[in-house]
Amino acid sequence: MASEDNPWSVPVVVLQIPETGLHRDIAATAPQCEAISALGGLRGVAEATASFDLKPFADGRVQVTGRVRAKVTQTCVVTLDPVDNLVDEAVDLTFLPPEQIREMADSVDDDGEPDPGDPPEAIERGLIDIGRVATDALFLGLDPYPRKPDAVFEPIVDRDDPDMNPFAALKALQLPTGTAAPRKPKR
């Protein structure tokens, strides 16, 4: 089930989850970390682990809670140097059979407002892919603006040339003093 858009696939068969629930600890392999890195546009993923508890309910839904941790290397937005970051992201998702999701969509409020919480995920072909859940949580936990601790953005300003400013082009278009603007010919 692993693919280019889902490199860390760890499927769990919903019907095999005991009534008391199921605990799973997973860790991405080196090739999976490399594929996650490529998928997320990262410089690297040194390690990625997840710990999940899956709790089934009589109505067919499954609650997935847990935590995803990873060591990633991103690019500093100021210096473009590598920046190592830790990801520690909590997960709390509800999975429903696809027909229940369709029923929920049909019973949306008359005003069209959806439920303010996270929408449920679909159980696909009787499986929940906790590897995909972990990958998604890892990406959600990334720093959107990674920055080296000592990086300071300083815009390049060259004050030596007075003709280098936004109004220099307008000045070049200005007519010499005492010159009248040309008139349009009459027809």
Q: Hey, what are 143's tokens?
A: 């720093």
What sign does the dihedral 138-141-145-147 (CA atoms) show? Answer: negative
Residue 1 is predicted with a pLDDT of: 59
What is the pLDDT at residue 57? 93
User: How far is it, in rounded angstroms, from Cα 64 to Cα 7?
Assistant: 20
Domain count within the chain: 1
pTM for this entry: 0.74
pLDDT digits (tens, 9 = 90+) for 40-66: 999 999 999 999 999 999 899 999 999
**Burial group, residue 133, by CB count within 10 angstroms (0-12, 13-18, 19+):** buried
| Averaged pLDDT for residues 9-27 | 97
Q: Which domain holds residue 118?
A: 11-140
- Residue 26's CB is within 10 A of a number of other CB atoms, namely 18
Q: Residue 91: its pLDDT value, please? A: 97
- pLDDT tens, position by position, 84-140: 999 999 999 999 998 888 777 655 555 555 555 678 999 999 999 999 999 999 999
Q: Is residue 158 part of a domain?
A: no
